Structure 1
C-alpha cells in the first residue's frame, strides 16, 4: 500500500498511538524523530498550521492529528486484522465521543492538576475524577473498550494506561487507584500486558523523570 512514514517525538503519547495502530495492522513504516526546539523542514511542510507531531505520510501525502490518523489507518488498511473502529454507526459515534472526552476534557483537567494552583487544581482533580468514573462505567464487563481485542478507544486511552500513571508519580498524587476505579485499573493491566503494547510503548521508568524535570522547569519559570 505504498510508503509509510511517521514523524514523532521520543515517548510522545500521540505519535505512539499512530505507531501502535500501524503495528496492530501489521503495516511497516519508517519512524522519523523530531526535535521540538528544531523542527524539521518536512514537519513544517507537512503540518504548516500546527507544526506538531504526529504526522503520518502515506505515499507522500500527509495526515495530521492522531485521532484523524487512526481513522485513516483503519479505512486505508481495513482488511488488515480486526478493525479499530466498530462497524455499527452508533458504536462508532460512541468511540469517537470517548476519544474526544479523553483528548479534550481529561487532558485539559490534568493540565490544571499539573500546572494550576488552589481552586484551579482542585477543579482539575474533580474534572479528572468525573471522566475516569465515566470511563470506568463504560468498560462494564469488557476486557477492552473495543470488546475482546484492542480497538480505537483503547489506543487513544493508552495515555491513561501509561502516561497518566507516570504523571501521577511525578507530581506525587494518586488520582487513579484500583479502589476508586477497579474496571479501569483492570483494563490498564490487560492493555499493558499485550505483547504489541509492551514492545512499542516506552517504559514508565523513563517517563517519570522526564515529567519531573518538565514540571520543575515550569515551576521555576513561574516563580522567576
Structure 2
C-alpha cells in the first residue's frame, strides 16, 4: 500500500485506539472500583481491541508463541514499543508491571495500573528504586499474578542494543520466583515514536522458564542471551536486517 495511505490509516488507528481507551474506562471504571476482576477484564478487552483494530486498519497481525505463564512468575520481556505491552497483557491472566513512577499520574492508565497491582519506581534513583521495588513487590504478594519487568529499563528500537540492568536479577533472587524470558519483534512494525504502523506479523514469544534458586549473575547472562537471540530471530523472520553484535 502507498505510504501516504498507510500513514493516514495509521493515524486513524491511533486516534480510535485512544478513543476506545476512554470509552472502556467510562464503562468499566465504576465496576473496577467495586471489584478488581473488572479492572483485569477492562485491560484484557482493551488489548484485544487494539490487536483486532491493528489487524483490520493497518494490516498488523499479532501472535503469541510459547507457553503462556499463568502461575506466580517474573516475566523478563524485551520492550520495543507499546504494542509488546498490549500483546503480553492480552495473553497472561494477571499482569502487573514494574513501571516508571510518572505513569501513575497518567489519566486512565495510572488508575488501572494501580488497580491491578503495578509497581511504580523512580528510575532516576537506581539504588532507592531497587529497594522500593523489592519492598513494593513483597507487600503486594497478596495480589497473585505475573510480574512483568523490562530488563533494559526502557523501550529499545528494533536493532538497537542496550545493556540489561540488575533490577531483574535482584527481583529474581529476592522473590524466589521463576523467571520467564519473553522476546519480540514488534518494533519492526510499531516504533517507539511516531504515527506510522507497518503491516506484517508482530510476535511476542514466551521462552523456556529459568527456575528459581540459581545464581543471579548466571541467570542475568542467560536471560540476555536468550531474549536477544530470540528477538533477533523474530525480527529476521519479519524481514528486518539484524546487525551483528560486537563485544
| Higher helix proportion | 1
| Higher strand proportion | 2
> When the two structures are superposed, what TM-score results if normalisation uses the length of structure 1?
0.31
User: Which of the pair has the greater relative contact order for Cα pairs under 8 Å at 6+ separation?
Assistant: 2
> When the two structures are superposed, what TM-score results if normalisation uses the length of structure 2?
0.29
